[in-house]
Structure 1
C-alpha cells in the first residue's frame, strides 16, 4: 500500500502541489479563526445566579433567598453540585454541571427552573443569571481619566449611561462591569419628629413618592377627523434639571390634613448624594472610575479586545475630554504566547536548514524541510479548528514540543532518498527519469514503516492524558491533542508531500556556468533591492549597520546563494567532511562501548539514580539502601560527606499551576473580615501610592470590594492590586524581579 501511495504522489505532482497550496491556505485561515487565549479555561462548567436584596444582612439573605434557590436548583437536570454564598445585600448561587453538558443548554435549564421559585422569594426580589462568560472572561480593565473640572459622581454617570452601553454593544462582549466613583441618587432624609407631629408613617412617605413617579395612559381622543394619544406625564425628572427635579419631589403630596396638603418638603429634606457602595477603584494612589470588559463564552479574546479598542478610539471624541486608559490587556500575554511558538518554529527551521546544509552540502534539500515543517504546523491548526481545540499556552506548547519529532521524520526520509539518489547518480543514472522515480519511491518506502511505528508509539504514550478528569484534564488535554495533531500532520506531509518535493528539488544541476552567474546576479540584485527599499527601516532599528553596508552584504549573500543553488550536485555523504567526522566519532565511541561493556552499562544506571534523585530527592531514593545497610549493622549517615552528598539533590518543587510572566503582578494583602469600607479604602490608597514610588512600577490598579458583576463575589474588605511593571530595559541596573517583589512586600 505504501508503494501505491508513493507512486501516486510522485506521478501526480501537480495534483499534490495544488492540494498542498490549498492546505496551506486553509491552514492559515484556521490559524486566524481558532480562538487564542493565554491559558486554558480550567474553570468548571457552571451557571451563576445573582440576587440582590439591598440593605439586608447575610443571615436574612441566606434564609430567604440563598436557601430556597439552592433547594430549587438542585432539580436542574445534569447539575453536579449547587453551592450558595450569602453576603450583605447579595446572594450568589453556583450550579455546576458535568463538562460534557452544553454551556447554553445549562443556562436555559437554570433559567427555566428559576420560574418555579420566584413566588417563594421576598417581594421585589428577582434572581438573574450571570453573563454568559467564564471565570477567565475578564480580558480588559480600564480607568477613566477625567478633565480637571469633573468629579467622581459625574464620571461614574458617564461610565454607567454612556461608555458601558457603548462597549457592551461590541460583538463578543458579554458584560461591561462598572466600579469606582459614586452613583448619584436623589436622597430623601425624613425628620422623624415631623412624621410624629403629622401622624404619618414612613411607609406612606415611600408610597407617595412611588405613586408620584409614574406615567399613565388615557387611550385616545378624536377631533377633526384625527386621533390623538392622551398621556399623563408623571415621571420625576423627565426633561427637568437636577434642581427642578428636587423641587418636584419636595412638592409631592403625602396626605391632606384638615384641607391642608402635607408635602415631602414638610417632613423631609431632598438632596442628591452618593449611593451606598460595596466596591471602589484606585489608580496610582487616587480614587478613580473604571470598568471590566467581560468576554462572551467561546469568543476569540484577541479579536474581542481589538474590537473593544477600536470602539474606545471612536468613543473618546464624544466624551468631553474623558480619556479611557487601558490598564490590563490580555492581548499582550496572548501575543507573547503566540510569539513563543513562532520563534520556536523559526529557530527550528533555521537550525534544520543549517544542519542539512552542513551534512548534505545541498541547500535545496534544506528548502524541502523548510516547506514541510510550517505546512505540518498549519495542518495542526486545521485539526484544532475542526475538533474545537482553542489555542493557548498549553496547546501551542504541544506543537512546540512536537517540532523536534516533526523535523526528524522529514530528515530521516529525506536523507534516505538523498543517499539512494547519490548512489544511483554515481552508478551512471541508469534507467533515466523513470528509474529516478523508482529510486525515490523505494528509498522512501524503506524507512516509512519505521517512521510510522515511531510516531504511533509517541501518540500512544499520550493516551493516559486523555483519561484525566476535572481540572487536570482541562489543563493538559489541549497539549496532548495538539501534539497528536502535529505528529499526525507531519507524518502525512512526510509520506505524501516530501517525496514529491524530493522529485522536484533533489537533482544535480545541469545549468551552464553563465546561467549560474546570471542566477546569482539576479538574486543578488533582488536581495539588494529588498534591503534598500523594504528592510531598511528594520535594519536601522535592529543593528548598527548602515543601510549601504547592509545592502552590499545582502547583494553578496544573494549572489552566493543563487550561484550555489544553481551549481550544487547530489554528492555521496562519504564526500562530506562533516559526515565523515561524525562517523569517525561514533565509530570510536562504539568500539569503546563494545570493549568495556560493564563500564558503559553502569553509566545509564548512574544516570537513572541521579535523575530519580533530582526528581524525588536523593534522601528518598537512597532510603531503601540505608535500611538494607542498617540491617547489616552499619549507618551510612555516619560516613563523612554522605549526608552533604545526598542533599545535593533534594527533589523538584511541584505546583498544581503553570507560572506565567505577564509583565504584571497580582498583589492581594489580607484585611480583617470586619474591616470597614473607609478603612480598607484608606489602606488601599496608601499602599498603591507607596508601590507606585518603586522605579520599576509603571502603574498600580487597586480594587476593594466587587465590581458590579455576578462573576465577582468579593467582600468589601478584599483588596486586589494589579502591579504593572515597566519593560526590563527601563529597570535599574542589576535589579531582579525578586528584589522588586521584596520591595513591594516591605511597603
Structure 2
C-alpha cells in the first residue's frame, strides 16, 4: 500500500506540488487562526458562588449562608470538590467539577440548586454566580485618568471615577465579543448616607424602623393601568423613585395633627461613599481607579484583546467619557503572547540555521541540504493545520514542543535524501526505479525510528491535574510534528529528490572521513571480540 502511494506521488509531480502548495496555504492560514496564549490554561472546571450581606458577621455568614449553600450543592453530577471562604459580609464558594463536565451544564446545575434554597437564606443576602472565566482570563488591565481633575477634592474625584467606571466604562466593554466580565478596583463606591438625630427621633416618637419603612415604601414607581379617552390611551403611572437628595429629604415619615414630619426634620441626607478595605496605587504615588477585563472561557485571548483595544480606542477617540477622561491600559495579554511566541520562533529559526549548517557539512550537497531544510517549514505548516483541527492552542509549551523537536523532525528526511543521493551516484539505471528503491530501503527504519521517539513522550499523558494540563500540549505537539515529518519524508521528499537531486562525484566530506577513521577500527575491534 505504501509502495503504491510513494509511486503515485513520484509519477504525478504536478499533483505533488499542488498538494504542497495547498499544505503551505492551509498551514499559514491555520497559524494565524490558532488560539494563542502565553501559557496553557491549567484551571479546572469550576463555578464560583458569591453571597453578600452588609450586616452579617463571619460566624453568621458561615452558619446561615455558607453552610446551607454548600449543603445544597452536594450530589450534583460530576462534582469533585467544594471549598469556601467566609469573611465579614461575604462568602465565596467554589464548586470544582471533573474535567469532562461541560461548564454550562455545571453552571445550570448550580443555579438550580441555589434557586431552591434562596428562600431559606436570611433577608438581605444576595447570591450570584461568578462569570464564565478562569484564572488565566485577566487579559487587559487599565486605569481611568483625567486630563484635568474637575475638583480639588481627591475623595470626590475618586468617587466620581469609580461611578463612571461601574456605570459607563464597564457596560461599554462588556459589549465586546469574548468578554465575560469587568472587575473594577480602586476609588470609592458612591452611596447616600442618612444620619438620624436621636434627639429629634425621640421628639417625634420615631424609631429607625419607621425611617427604614418610609424609605422603602416611597422609593417606588407604581403602574395605574390605562385610561381610554376617545381614540387615545393614556398610561397612568405614579412616579416615586428618588432622583435627587431633595426627593429623599421630602419624604414624609410621620404626620402630627395633620402637620407632616419630613425626613430632613430628623436626619441629614448627603452624598458619601461606602467603607472600603483597600485601594489601588499607581507607581507608588497616586491613587487610581481602573478595571480588569475578564475573557470568556475558551476564547482566543489574542483576538479578544484586539477587540478590546479597538473598543477602547473608539471610546477615547469619540470622547465618550466626560471631562476629557481617558482609558489608559497598562497590561495587555497580547504583549506577553507576542514576546513568548517571538522567543519560540527565534529558537526555531536558530535551530533551523544550525541544522542547515550541520547538514551541509556532512552531506556537502547544496540541493540535498535544501530539500532537508524545506521539510522543516512543511512540517511546521502541517503541524499548525492539525493543531487547528484538534483545537490545540499555540502557547509557550505547544510551540516549545516544535522548537525542541527540530532535530528529530529532519531525521527521516535526512535518511531519505542521503540514501537517494547515494543510489543516484552509484546507479546507472532508470532514475524513477532508483529513487523508489532508495526510499523503500529505508522506509521501515524511518517509520520505526519516529514511532520510538514519539513513544518517549507518551508517559507525559499519564500526568494528572495541573501538571498534565501544563505539559500535555508539549507532548501532543511533539508527537504531531514527528508524524507530520514522517509523512512529509515519505510522500513529498522522494518527489523532491527525484526532481532536484543529480549525480555527484564528490567524495565524502572530511568530517565523515574523520568519523570513519575512528569508528571503523572500533567497530572491527568490537566484532572480533563479541564477548566484550
TM-score by length of 2: 0.93
- Whole-angstrom distance in 1 between the partners of 2:24 and 2:303: 22
Correspondence for 1:565: none
Match of 1:213 in 2: 219
* Residue 378 (structure 1) aligns with: 381
Answer yes or no: is 1:439 the counterpart of 2:434: yes
**What are the equivalent positions in structure 2 for 1:538-557 lying under 5 Å apart?**
none
Aligned residue in 2 for 1:355: 358
Indicate the residue corresponding to 2:110 in structure 1. 110
2:389 maps to 1:390: no
Q: Deviations over 1:690-737 (max 9, x none)?
A: xxxxxxxxxxxxxxxxxxxxxxxxxxxxxxxxxxxxxxxxxxxxxxxx
Measure the CA separation in 1 of the matches of 2:337 and 2:419: 40
Conserved 8 A contact 1:61-1:87: yes
Alignment of 1:75-224 (within 5 A): 75-150=75-150, 151-224=157-230
Residues 349, 369 of structure 1: 8 Å contact kept: no
Q: Does 1:278 align with 2:277?
A: yes
Measured in 2, the distance between the counterparts of 1:581 and 1:90 equals 72
The match for 2:300 is: 300
Cα shift readout 1:237-266 (whole Å, capped 9, x = no counterpart): 1xxxxxxx1211111111112211111101
User: 1:394 Cα deviation (Å)?
Assistant: 1.4
Question: Where do 1:377-526 residues align within 5 Å?
Answer: 377-424=380-427, 429-430=428-429, 435-507=430-502
Kept after mapping to 1: 8 A contact 2:362/2:511: no
Q: What SS does structure 2 have at the residue aligned with 1:144?
A: strand
Q: Secondary structure at the match of 1:117?
A: helix
SS in 2 for 1:127: strand
Measure, in 2, the Cα distance between the counterparts of 1:16 and 1:111: 56
How many angstroms apart in 1 are the aligned matches of 2:52 and 2:520?
77
1:582 partnered with 2:512: yes
The Cα of 1:23 is off from its aligned counterpart by: 2.2
Mapped partners of 2:349, 2:216: distance in 1: 69
CA contact (8 A) 2:361 2:511 kept: no
CA distance in 1, matches of 2:423, 2:524: 30
Query: Greater relative contact order: 1 or 2 (C-alpha under 8 angstroms, separation 6 or more)?
Result: 2
On the 8 A contact 2:138/2:292 being kept in 1, the answer is yes
Aligned to 1:218, what secondary structure does the other structure show? Answer: strand
Contact 1:352 1:369 in 2 (8 A): no
SS at match of 2:410: helix
Q: Is the 8 A contact 1:139 1:301 kept in 2?
A: yes
**1:292 Cα shift?**
0.5
**Whole-angstrom CA distance in 2 between matches of 1:503 and 1:595:** 39
Cα 1:250/1:581, change in 2 over 3 Å: closer
1:571 aligns with 2:504: yes
Deviation at 1:461, TM superposition (A): 1.8
How far apart, in 1, do the equivalents of 2:221 and 2:11 lie?
A: 82
CA–CA separation in structure 1 for the residues paired with 2:175 and 2:72: 33
The separation in 2 between residues aligned to 1:10 and 1:580, in whole angstroms, is 33
In the alignment, structure 1 residue 256 sits paired with structure 2 residue 255:
yes
CA-CA distance at 1:594 after TM superposition: 6.2
C-alpha separation in 2, matches of 1:174 and 1:48: 14
- Offset, 1:595: 5.9
C-alpha separation between the residues in 1 aligned to 2:367 and 2:91? 68
Residues in 2 aligned to 1:32 and 1:277: alpha-carbon distance in whole angstroms: 45
- Aligned counterpart for 1:321 among listed residues 319, 324, 333: 324
Q: Which runs of 5+ in 2 are unaligned?
A: 151-156
8 Å Cα contact 1:72/1:117 also seen in 2:
yes
Any conservation in 2 of the 1:146–1:155 contact (CA below 8 Å)?
Answer: no
Gaps of 5+ in 1: 238-244, 508-569, 603-747
* Native 8 Å contact 2:141 2:293 kept in 1: yes
User: 2: distance between equivalents of 1:12 and 1:199?
Assistant: 102
Relative to 1, partners in 2 of residues 1:341 and 1:289: Cα closer, same or farther, differing over 3 Å? same
Aligned to 2:265: 266
Report 1:709-724 matches (<5 A). none
CA distance in structure 2 between the aligned counterparts of 1:111 and 1:26, rounded to whole angstroms: 43
Aligned residue for 2:242, secondary structure, equals coil
1:290 aligns with 2:290: yes
1:13-28 mapped onto 2 (5 Å cutoff) = 13-28=13-28
Q: Is the 8 A contact 1:62 1:86 kept in 2?
A: yes
> Residue deviations 1:33-89, cap 9 Å, x none?
221111112222211111111232111111111000000011211101111211121
Number of aligned positions between the proteins:
519
Deviation at 1:573, TM superposition (A): 4.7
Mark the CA change 1:498 to 1:299 in structure 2 (over 3 Å): closer, same or farther: same
C-alpha deviation, 1:581, in angstroms: 3.8
TM-score, normalised with respect to structure 1: 0.67
Shift of 1:413: 1.0
1:713 corresponds to? none
The residue number in structure 1 matching 2:42 is 42
Alpha-carbon distance in structure 1 between the residues aligned to 2:116 and 2:400: 47
CA–CA distance in 2 between the matches of 1:169 and 1:581? 64
